[in-house]
Structure 1
């Protein structure tokens, strides 16, 4: 993993949501996946946030208490808690455990969740609120006296009693693919996380770029043999017409721009030589596209993403530890190809300098 870090590449996975699982089963699975991620040398894993899941900060606490170096990447929606409450939670974990959490700032979510909490803000207004929110959180975490007068938040002489030590300051991201998200990331100076279109659409002069880097959430099934990778892929993610109907309903009721973007991609479910695979998304198995093939085939697609400025990879929920190890092999080959071409990716500035 050190070579990846030196080249500016960061790897996370994703912890399974608590939806549909009893508390003991979910806790065991959370600990298990966090252990897999730590053993494979990833930085950490994303913990989702929505109205149907358990509190993501509580889940992060449980993961930290059962690992040595795992970093939770916690999805934070401003309507769920105040900036001061988030900053205090980050500070508390740092002081209780000497550990950090990373933050994925999200502005939207399911429309039913927003309505349940009385949030009627427009898409772009939510990113304006998110920008203020993240700004206040950063200022609180640095330990200074915060005086802030914005459209959405007002603080006067606010201060944490225990600021976060500099070496435990969170790496932060903003989630989305819209122009409003890009503007928020630029203003905050943080990496933008989104779901990827086919690799070739991330290169070229017209592809969206951020001065502070971009990341993608994607699934990877890579094995030594391409046929074996595809066997696993088809077994896990069959083309289910009922799933396709559920996904269409979800998109019609959604508030995000990335879901319609992925749905509009016209690639067939299967084609010779096609590594980028939308079946898991189209049939409502998961929310991201997949890269499937042998190590070199997947590495070639990943190299294209690297050429397009992608530096952070958030990999879909692993079914077994081999998913994480094999994905890492493909990513390492992609980075090696960049090095051989003399265009090694470099780390980018963010909300903090501890990326």
Structure 2
């Protein structure tokens, strides 16, 4: 098995949110996917944060306690907890378990979630708030004394009694695809996570990229035979009128820029020879596009992203452990072939 980290490439999977699951089955499913990721040699998995999911840090603790090496990539929304509370939680997990928690800083969410919590901050201003938030978190995690007077946060002589050991310091990302998110990532010196355009469009010189690195959330269905990959894809993600209507509702409630951008990508639902597939997103099955095909077809698309500067991949929720292994095969082929 190739050492992807040694090649500078980081791969996560995604753990299912608690929508539609009772408490017992959600814990079982969370640990099942986390253990699959461990066995397949992934760094870890993304854990969502929204008003319909269980608390992302509590899910992270459960995943850590039930695995050997899994690293939770925890989505953090500033409205949900103060920067001190987050820093203390990350530090506590490091000291209790000797394990790392990675952070995906998220500026907003759905309009209904923001309304429930009384958050009326405008889109670009939310990234200003996120920049303050992540700045404070980073300083606290390194053991510094924080004196901060910003527009959104004020701290005086704040310090963690147990900062995170350097070897367990989290990888952190800023989520988003807007100019405001890109500016926030660069101001913080963090990589940016977004949802990808068609591979060939992403590498265009007209696309501004974060100079500290980029990552994408994408699904992969790869098999030895392309026809088998597409058979699985169509079975899992049918194009239905009901799904299209749900997507319309989602877009009407969106306060992020990536959802309308992805919905507007001008490719048909079915295009022979096209590996990039938007049906899972367009019909509200999941929140990202997919790459579908045989190993070499998917590897070529992944290589295009790699050559365009992508170094982090957050893969969609697997239905079975083989999904992770098949995806890894395509990613390894792409890494082996990428321009260096």
Aligned to 2:308: 308
Measured on the aligned residues, the alpha-carbon RMSD in Å equals: 0.8
Structure 2: runs of 5+ lacking an equivalent:
none
1:63 equivalent to 2:63? Answer yes
1:49 equivalent to 2:49? Answer yes
Aligned to 1:196: 196
1:246 equivalent to 2:246? Answer yes
Aligned to 2:83: 83
1:269 equivalent to 2:269? Answer yes
Secondary structure of 1:3's partner?
A: coil
Aligned to 2:173: 173
Q: Deviations along 1:66-98, whole A, 9 cap, x unmatched?
A: 001100000000000000000000010000000
Secondary structure of 2:222's partner?
A: strand
Q: Deviations along 1:102-153, whole A, 9 cap, x unmatched?
A: 0000001010000000000000000000000000000000111111111110
The answer to whether the 8 Å contact 1:202/1:208 transfers is no
Q: TM-score with structure 1 length normalisation? A: 0.95
1:4 equivalent to 2:4? Answer yes
Take 1:93 and 1:267, find their aligned partners in 2: how far apart are those partners? 44
Aligned to 1:353: none
Structure 1 residue 2: Cα displacement: 5.2
Take 2:9 and 2:264, find their aligned partners in 1: how far apart are those partners? 29
Which structure 2 residues correspond to residues 148-227 of structure 1 after superposition, within 5 A? 148-227=148-227
The answer to whether the 8 Å contact 2:2/2:332 transfers is no
Take 1:337 and 1:115, find their aligned partners in 2: how far apart are those partners? 47
Secondary structure of 2:319's partner?
A: coil
Aligned to 2:287: 287
Aligned to 1:352: none
Q: Deviations along 1:261-299, whole A, 9 cap, x unmatched?
A: 111111111111010000000000001000000000000
Take 2:98 and 2:305, find their aligned partners in 1: how far apart are those partners? 34
Take 2:126 and 2:319, find their aligned partners in 1: how far apart are those partners? 34
Secondary structure of 2:81's partner?
A: coil
Secondary structure of 2:3's partner?
A: helix
Structure 1 residue 208: Cα displacement: 2.0
Structure 1 residue 3: Cα displacement: 3.0
Which structure 2 residues correspond to residues 327-338 of structure 1 after superposition, within 5 A? 327-338=327-338
Structure 1: runs of 5+ lacking an equivalent:
345-355
Q: TM-score with structure 2 length normalisation? A: 0.99
Q: Deviations along 1:23-51, whole A, 9 cap, x unmatched?
A: 00000000100000000000000000001
Secondary structure of 1:291's partner?
A: strand
The answer to whether the 8 Å contact 1:217/1:314 transfers is yes
Q: Deviations along 1:301-328, whole A, 9 cap, x unmatched?
A: 1111111111100000000011100111
Aligned to 1:113: 113
Take 2:63 and 2:78, find their aligned partners in 1: how far apart are those partners? 22
Take 2:187 and 2:311, find their aligned partners in 1: how far apart are those partners? 19
Which structure 2 residues correspond to residues 121-132 of structure 1 after superposition, within 5 A? 121-132=121-132
Secondary structure of 1:177's partner?
A: coil
- Shift >4 Å, 4+ stretches: none
Take 1:276 and 1:79, find their aligned partners in 2: how far apart are those partners? 34
Question: 121-130 or 244-253: which moved more?
Answer: 244-253
Aligned to 1:299: 299
Aligned to 2:141: 141
Aligned to 2:99: 99
Between the two proteins, the alignment pairs up a number of residues equal to 340
Aligned to 1:349: none
Q: Deviations along 1:150-199, whole A, 9 cap, x unmatched?
A: 11101000010111000001100000000000000000001100000100
Take 1:21 and 1:204, find their aligned partners in 2: how far apart are those partners? 41
